Amino acid sequence: MTKDTSAARIVVNAPGDYTTMQVEHFDPPTPGPGELLVRVAAAGVNFIDMYRRAGVYKVPYPHVLGSEGSGTVLAVGEETSGFTAGDQISWDAAPGSYATHAIVPASNAVLVPAGVDLTTAAAVRLQGLTAHYLATSSFRISPGDIALIHAGAGGVGLLLTQIAVALGARVITTVSTQDKAELSLAAGASRAILYSEMEDITTQLPPQVRAAARELRSHTEHHVGDGRGDGVDVVYDGVGKTTFDASLASLRIRGTLVLFGGSSGQVPPFDLQQLNAHGSLTVTRPTLAHFVLTRRELESRMNDLHTWIAQGTLTVSVGATYPLEQAGEAHHAVEGRKTMGKVLLIPSTAS
Ligand code: NDP
């Protein structure tokens, strides 16, 4: 294959802030066994990229950022079945995806069906799989459940809200601005609570959540008289440090807290007796890799997502796109809580 010296990628040479991200030109490698060389159409921006950039998660440096994307297969490595040049695929675990060209493990690639464009395919891949396993596996939503979802206008938040509602839940969200509240309500939330101006989220948020849950429950006979009190059945908390205590205090007896991230910082160690004191609660701290353990599990979840998109059950909201070279600005916007929905990097088709 001819070398493409106009290929570009985003690199950091040491842990640091968004200003340390640099554009580097490189020769796309030949794919090895089990690998695909892909022309990237869109690369997803995710918190894991920022954790790796900043050194919160340890990676060797120099480090090429990114792990998620969609694109077209240019070359297939030896001993690699299931894909041919020209196929359109998405992935969520290919290090170095902030690039014009990336090497994608075939084991992580999924064909994008006709009817789903490559932008949507990249936007739904990592956050969609996350929302899927949160709603169906970490805590299986049942009709009538009331769920609290923090950062309801975020990438995971918007998808999780739609999936939870489709599975029969009523959803309360937290958001930081009125614009975000409107987007969250449009995605199906019954209530969107503004939490950013609260002086003390831990004491001020739970009463508002409990009041909202009581009101939603009063519209139905479901759960009435089961003795578990008010509050929500499940909290999905990807904000972490600033919301964790409020999440515990918002649950009903025997409720479940699914802590799946820390956009405000990681939750420090805590006293397990709190689970007893708050009502025999369950806390789980899941990660995506453990919910796509087999090829079958990955394909089944992706098939659901693609089907829901085709049926109109799931709308994928791309809040912002940036040229690949402006990846630093994209990180800055996400870290500054400026974004709604999915943020994507688009490599120039000329480079
Ligand atoms: P979002 O699009 O939700 O962006 C993060 C949101 O968190 C912000 O928009 C903001 O919403 C809220 N937030 C609250 N406090 C802060 C803060 N101090 N700094 C920045 N943001 C803050 O991100 P994603 O959807 O990509 O990810 C959400 C979470 O899910 C992350 O913690 C991520 O690590 C986690 N995740 C976990 C996975 C897993 O398998 N465990 C997989 C994928 C993601 P607002 O302004 O409304 O408060």
CATH T-level topology, domain 143-285? Rossmann fold (3.40.50)
Evaluate if residue 351 carries a pLDDT over 50: no
| pLDDT, mean of residues 52-64 | 95
pLDDT at 288: 97
Distance from C-alpha of 88 to C-alpha of 74, rounded to nearest angstrom = 10
Distance from C-alpha of 19 to C-alpha of 331, rounded to nearest angstrom = 9
Q: Is 46 in the pocket of ligand 1 (CB under 6 A)?
A: yes
| pLDDT, mean of residues 333-351 | 90
Evaluate if residue 5 carries a pLDDT over 80: no
Q: Is 151 in the pocket of ligand 1 (CB under 6 A)?
A: yes
Taking the centre of ligand 1 as the mean of its atom positions, its distance from the CA of residue 223, in whole angstroms, is: 30
Task: Give the position, in ligand 1's atom list, of the atom nearest the Cα of 338.
Answer: 9
| pLDDT, mean of residues 247-257 | 98
| Residue 101 near residue 4, CB atoms below 8 Å | yes
pLDDT at 79: 94
Range with lowest mean pLDDT among 155-169, 177-191, 215-229, 263-277: 215-229
pLDDT tens for 63-100 read 999 999 999 999 999 999 999 999 999 999 999 999 99
Q: Is 342 in the pocket of ligand 1 (CB under 6 A)?
A: no
pLDDT tens for 96-130 read 999 999 999 999 999 999 989 999 999 999 999 99
pLDDT at 338: 96
pLDDT at 221: 56
Evaluate if residue 282 carries a pLDDT over 90: yes
Taking the centre of ligand 1 as the mean of its atom positions, its distance from the CA of residue 262, in whole angstroms, is: 7
Please tell me whether residue 290 adopts helix, strand or coil conformation.
helix
Q: Is 264 in the pocket of ligand 1 (CB under 6 A)?
A: yes
Q: Write down the pTM of the prediction.
A: 0.96
pLDDT at 222: 56
Taking the centre of ligand 1 as the mean of its atom positions, its distance from the CA of residue 74, in whole angstroms, is: 33
pLDDT at 219: 75
DSSP 223-288: TTTSS--SSEEEEEESS-TTTHHHHHHHEEEEEEEEE---TT-PPPP--THHHHHTTS-EEE---G
| pLDDT, mean of residues 206-228 | 84
Residue of the CA atom closest to atom 34 of ligand 1: 261
> Can you list the alpha helix ranges (DSSP code H) found in the chain?
47-54, 118-133, 155-166, 178-186, 201-218, 244-250, 273-277, 295-311, 327-335
Q: Quick one: what percent of the chain has pLDDT higher than 70? A: 96
To test the pocket of ligand 1, the residue of 263, 291, 316, 343 to mutate (highest count of ligand atoms within 8 Å of its CB) is 263
Residue of the CA atom closest to atom 16 of ligand 1: 264
Q: Is 239 in the pocket of ligand 1 (CB under 6 A)?
A: yes
Taking the centre of ligand 1 as the mean of its atom positions, its distance from the CA of residue 156, in whole angstroms, is: 8
When pLDDT is cut at 50, 70 and 90, the band that residue 314 belongs to is: very high
Radius of gyration (Cα) for the chain, nearest Å?
21
pLDDT at 224: 55
Distance from C-alpha of 141 to C-alpha of 79, rounded to nearest angstrom = 41
Distance from C-alpha of 53 to C-alpha of 61, rounded to nearest angstrom = 9
Q: Is 238 in the pocket of ligand 1 (CB under 6 A)?
A: yes
CATH code matching the domain that covers 8-125+294-350, chosen among 3.30.565.10, 3.90.180.10, 3.40.50.720, 1.50.10.10: 3.90.180.10
Evaluate if residue 151 carries a pLDDT over 70: yes
Mean pLDDT of the chain: 95
pLDDT at 349: 72
Q: Is 263 in the pocket of ligand 1 (CB under 6 A)?
A: yes
Q: Locate CATH 3.40.50.720 in the chain.
A: 143-285
Evaluate if residue 55 carries a pLDDT over 80: yes
| Residue 205 near residue 193, CB atoms below 8 Å | yes
Spatial CB neighbours of 86, under 8 Å, sequence gap ≥ 6: 72, 73
Q: Report DSSP state, residue 29.
A: P
Taking the centre of ligand 1 as the mean of its atom positions, its distance from the CA of residue 140, in whole angstroms, is: 21
Q: Quick one: what percent of the chain has pLDDT higher than 90? A: 92
Task: Give the position, in ligand 1's atom list, of the atom nearest the Cα of 175.
Answer: 47
Distance from C-alpha of 160 to C-alpha of 316, rounded to nearest angstrom = 11
List the structure tokens of 250: 């918002």
Taking the centre of ligand 1 as the mean of its atom positions, its distance from the CA of residue 47, in whole angstroms, is: 7
Q: Is 45 in the pocket of ligand 1 (CB under 6 A)?
A: no
Residue of the CA atom closest to atom 47 of ligand 1: 175
Q: Is 156 in the pocket of ligand 1 (CB under 6 A)?
A: yes
Q: Locate CATH 3.90.180.10 in the chain.
A: 8-125+294-350
To test the pocket of ligand 1, the residue of 159, 239, 343 to mutate (highest count of ligand atoms within 8 Å of its CB) is 239
| pLDDT, mean of residues 8-24 | 97
In terms of pLDDT, which residue wins out, 228 or 86? 86
| pLDDT, mean of residues 20-33 | 97
